[in-house]
Chain A
């Protein structure tokens, strides 16, 4: 399945809504294994996305993902800024000439995360949500269960990348905040795919 502009806009707007609504939850997750500001940072990014769309309504998919990327890069402040920013910027470049199947598009975003974070699956990061979602979309088996399973898996992992890795075994049992905000992104996707 491919996402056209109208639905892609709805997708990002829903993500923005969820980030604004769940700011406190994300901060709490980040307090457990980080510096406690992921919710605040992502809310700032969310507001910047809204401001960017109001300033200039994206006319095509590439512009939409690019505006999302730049809002994140410029306003998030923490590591999530360049990470989400790279994912969306790579996706923006990928749809410049032709729209892609969602699974392939999100794989490009996932590969961007891996490159920017010098990371991979199994390290207790947002990649542990992006990769299984991309994989599921490629075989048309994406649903809420995929996200739930990914979060459950993340929870049980020991962090080997990012600030939480300093906590070693103590990071186990906590959901990575970046994985949770990524879950909001893909739960937003389910909502618009179902509509």
Chain B
């Protein structure tokens, strides 16, 4: 598929939960997650994000995150990787859900981004 989805959260459970939710709307998409620290505590892990990016089979990645260090680690990874990653400063659950729904039916990026606009909260 053209687009894959990446979920970065401070909590492993939130990341897993969002994946379960959006997988229903987009069963064919590559959805990979990075939740919590390396020890599965609350926080974020560059290593987990790296792994989730490596595992994602989308040609390009649409990335969603929750709080501060998730964003910073995601941005750090974006500076290091060759993959094309689009990061969205939107509500995590709703944003990922809309993007997954639209990507599943091969919507163009402009359409996806247009629909995400109203969810921008950070």
Is B27 interfacial (CB-CB < 8 Å)? Answer: no
Listed A/B pairs (15) with beta-carbon separation below 8 Å: A73-B46, A73-B73, A74-B45, A75-B38, A78-B43, A79-B72, A81-B73, A82-B46, A82-B69, A82-B73, A82-B75, A83-B72, A85-B46, A116-B72, A117-B72
B76 touches A82 (CB 8 A): yes
Interface of A is mostly: helix
Tell me if B47 is interfacial: C-beta within 8 Å of chain A: yes
With A74-B46, A82-B73 known, 18 other A-B pairs at CB within 8 A are A41-B43, A74-B38, A77-B37, A77-B69, A78-B43, A79-B72, A81-B72, A82-B46, A82-B72, A82-B75, A82-B76, A85-B46, A85-B76, A86-B72, A116-B72, A116-B75, A117-B72, A162-B68
In whole Å, how far is B80's beta carbon from the nearest beta carbon of chain A?
10
Contact residues, B59-86 vs A (CB, 8 A) = 68-69, 72-73, 75-76
What is the interface size of chain B, counting residues whose CB is below 8 A from a CB of the partner?
A: 15
For B44, the chain A residues whose CB sits under 8 A away are 77
Q: Tell me the bound Cα distance from A81 to B73 in angstroms.
A: 8
- Assembled-state Cα–Cα distance A81/B72 (Å): 9
Chain B residues near A75 (CB-CB < 8 A)? 38
A78 and B47 in contact, given A73-B76, A116-B75, A116-B76 (Cβ under 8 angstroms): no
How many whole Å from A114's CB to the nearest CB in chain B?
12
Q: Which residue of B lies closest to A82 (CB)?
A: B72
Tell me whether A74 and B69 are in contact in the complex, defined as CB-CB below 8 angstroms, given that A116-B75, A116-B76 are known contacts. Answer: no
Does A163 touch B at the CB level, under 8 Å?
Answer: yes
Give, as a whole number of angstroms, the nearest-CB distance from A186 to chain B: 22
- B41: interface (CB < 8 Å): yes
Complex: chain A residue closest to B43, CB-CB: A77
List the interface of chain B (C-beta within 8 A of A).
37-38, 41-47, 68-69, 72-73, 75-76
CB 8 Å contact bits of A98-135 with B (1 = contact, 0 = none)? 00000000000000000011000000000000000000
CA A34 to CA B120, docked complex, whole Å:
24
Please report the C-alpha to C-alpha distance between residue A74 and residue B41 in the assembled complex, in whole angstroms.
13
Assembled-state Cα–Cα distance A83/B69 (Å) = 9
A37 to B27, CA, bound (A): 38
* A86: B residues at CB distance < 8 A: 72, 76
Write the nearest CB–CB distance from A75 to chain B, whole angstroms.
8
**Interchain CB contact under 8 A, A163 and B37:** no
Task: Report the separation of the CA atoms of residues A86 and B76 in the bound assembly, to the nearest whole angstrom.
Answer: 8
In the complex, what residue of chain A is closest to B68 when comparing beta carbons? A79
Chain A residues in 8 Å Cβ range of B68 = 79, 162-163
Closest Cβ neighbor of A85 among chain B residues: B76
A162 to B73 alpha-carbon distance, docked (Å): 15
**Cβ distance B106 to chain A, nearest Cβ, rounded Å:** 33
Most A CB contacts (10 A, CB to CB) among B38, B46, B69 go to B69
